[in-house]
């Protein structure tokens, strides 16, 4: 308990590729974050954030924050090459009508709600594998670390294995796969900037070039 095990990779022959995708569908209009502090969102378009979420959740709003997994939030990235950064709900504050997310929500940023689509989530996992840059790979041994958000597992339910199968179909035949479910994934964006993600399938492929 409370321990960390570091792993170091070194050598001129080591190659690492990465990919990260979500697969959620955008929902509703583009909204401006008009008040937030860190990972606490108070208002969007000057409307209480929790009020907006409850409108879209309808009867499922009674199950917040758990049902909030069905509606993560997409933050528009300034770089056109970058996909949206996804944030998932951790808790709600009825008194302040605010929402606490698993990552910062910058004030002044533009966001959209997202909703689950089972087929798109599976497609998103496949797209994460397709994003891997395997330049120089020559069908030798390789290992893929697959990190999927626990929120995806809750949404996919009995279909959860499909996203892993979608990844395996894209990976080289000689690649092994290990992984786990997380509460946040860290991966570079297309621009090279590293960021915290939620509700994604994030992959790291490691091999040794001959």
Residues forming CATH 3.30.1330 domain(s) in the chain:
14-22+117-208
Model confidence band, residue 190 (pLDDT cutoffs 50, 70, 90): low
For the four alpha carbons of 198, 159, 58 and 95, in that order, the dihedral sign comes to: negative
The structural architecture, per CATH, of the domain 14-22+117-208 is 2-Layer Sandwich (3.30)
23-37, 59-73, 82-96, 183-197, range with the lowest pLDDT: 183-197
Instruction: Give the pLDDT of residue 54.
Output: 92
Integer-rounded Cα Rg, in Å, for the chain is: 18
| 78 φ, ψ (degrees, to nearest 5) | -70, -35
Between CA 88 and CA 185 the distance in angstroms is 12
Task: Note the helical H segments in the chain.
Answer: 49-57, 118-130, 150-156, 161-170
Instruction: Give the pLDDT of residue 116.
Output: 77
Summarize the confidence of residues 193-208 as an average pLDDT. 86
Does the pLDDT value for residue 81 go beyond 70? no
Does the pLDDT value for residue 180 go beyond 70? yes
b/e code 170-180 from CB counts within 10 Å (16+ = b): bbbeebeeebe
Instruction: Give the pLDDT of residue 126.
Output: 94
* 8-state DSSP, 142: E
Summarize the confidence of residues 92-118 as an average pLDDT. 91
The number of C-alpha atoms within 13 Å of 61 and in the hemisphere containing its C-beta is 14
Question: In this structure, are residues 90 and 65 in contact, taking their beta carbons and an 8 Å threshold?
Answer: yes
Structure token pair of residue 150: 């626990």
Summarize the confidence of residues 30-41 as an average pLDDT. 95
Residues 111-135 pLDDT 10s? 999 887 788 889 999 999 999 988 8
Q: Where are the beta strands (DSSP E) in 76-162?
A: 85-87, 89-93, 98-101, 110-115, 142-149
Number of Cβ atoms within 10 Å of the Cβ of 183: 11
Model confidence band, residue 187 (pLDDT cutoffs 50, 70, 90): confident
Structure token pair of residue 95: 């008194």
Instruction: Round the average pLDDT of the chain to a whole number and report it.
Output: 87
């Amino acid at each position: 308990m409370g321990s960390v095990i570091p792993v170091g990779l070194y050598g001129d022959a080591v190659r690492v590729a990465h990919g990260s995708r979500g697969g959620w569908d955008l929902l509703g209009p583009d909204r401006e974050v008009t008040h937030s502090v860190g990972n606490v969102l108070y208002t969007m378009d000057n409307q209480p954030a929790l009020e907006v979420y409850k409108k879209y959740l309808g009867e499922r709003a009674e199950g917040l924050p758990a049902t909030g997994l069905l509606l993560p939030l997409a933050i528009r990235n300034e770089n056109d090459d970058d996909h949206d950064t996804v944030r998932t709900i951790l808790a709600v504050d009825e008194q302040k009508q605010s929402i606490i997310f698993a990552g910062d929500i910058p004030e002044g940023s533009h966001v959209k709600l997202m909703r689950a689509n089972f087929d798109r989530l599976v497609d998103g996992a496949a797209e994460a594998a397709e994003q891997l840059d395997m330049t120089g790979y020559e069908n030798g041994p390789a290992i893929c670390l697959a990190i999927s958000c626990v929120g995806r597992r809750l949404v996919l339910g009995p279909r959860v294995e499909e996203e892993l199968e979608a990844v395996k179909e894209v990976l080289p035949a000689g690649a092994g796969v290990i992984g786990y479910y997380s509460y946040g994934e860290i991966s570079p964006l297309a621009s090279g900037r590293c960021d915290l993600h939620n509700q994604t399938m994030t992959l790291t492929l490691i091999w040794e070039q001959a």
